Amino acid sequence: MIRKFFRKKASKKGKLDTFLEKYNLPRAYFNINRKMITRGVFVGLFWGFIPMPMQMLAVIATTPFIRFNVPIAIAMVWLSNPFTMPPMYYMEYLTGNFLLGREGVDNIELTLDWFSNNMSNIFVPLYVGTAFYSIVVSALIYFILNWLWIRSVKEEKLGKNEKIKKQKR
């Protein structure tokens, strides 16, 4: 199922090849296979969970070290956007407090003045929670997606084998 979706998208290679040749981009970073897609999801989520500016540039900076599908990784980074950032970072802050065994800050206000006055109390728990989500949750999603992809391929092959058996009867 997953493979069929990406095969349909990959069938129109003319425009992509022209784009890659025009900007001299390596084709490997646009490959559509299980390893490249799942790695792209992992890298994108890893950087997406980290509260920092220019997460997309961090994804691009990762490309020489890990081969992955760059468009997928950039799309995963977009999951942390101005609407999702406050709940994500608050969840990371709460998780960091839980992991550190702290109570946390009371009376949270969404003002720059409040944040600048309480940054020393927020920083460590936020980044402990961030490390948890960036490493553990991204890796968990990577393994689940990898397993689902493999399962989908096996089911697809099983379905084809059953159709062949029915045709032979």
Residues 5-15 have pLDDT tens digits of: 666 665 556 77
pLDDT value at residue 13? 60
pLDDT value at residue 65? 92
Q: Which of 50, 71, 16 is nearest to 127 (CA)?
A: 50
pTM of the model: 0.80
pLDDT value at residue 86? 87
Question: Residue 90 corresponds to which amino acid?
Answer: Y
Domain membership of residue 7 as a residue range: 2-168
Residues 119-159 have pLDDT tens digits of: 888 899 999 999 999 999 999 999 999 999 999 988 888 87
What distance in Å separates the CA atoms of residue 80 and residue 93, rounded to the nearest whole number? 15
pLDDT value at residue 64? 87
Residues 74-121 have pLDDT tens digits of: 999 999 888 999 899 989 999 999 999 988 887 777 788 888 888 888
What distance in Å separates the CA atoms of residue 44 and residue 72, rounded to the nearest whole number? 7
Q: Which of 29, 32, 46, 66 is nearest to 56 (CA)?
A: 46
Altogether, the residues listed in the chain come to a count of 169
pLDDT value at residue 11? 55
4's CB contacts (< 8 A; 6+ apart) are: 156
Counting the structural domains of the chain, the total is 1
Residues 30-51 have pLDDT tens digits of: 888 899 999 999 999 999 999 9
pLDDT value at residue 8? 62
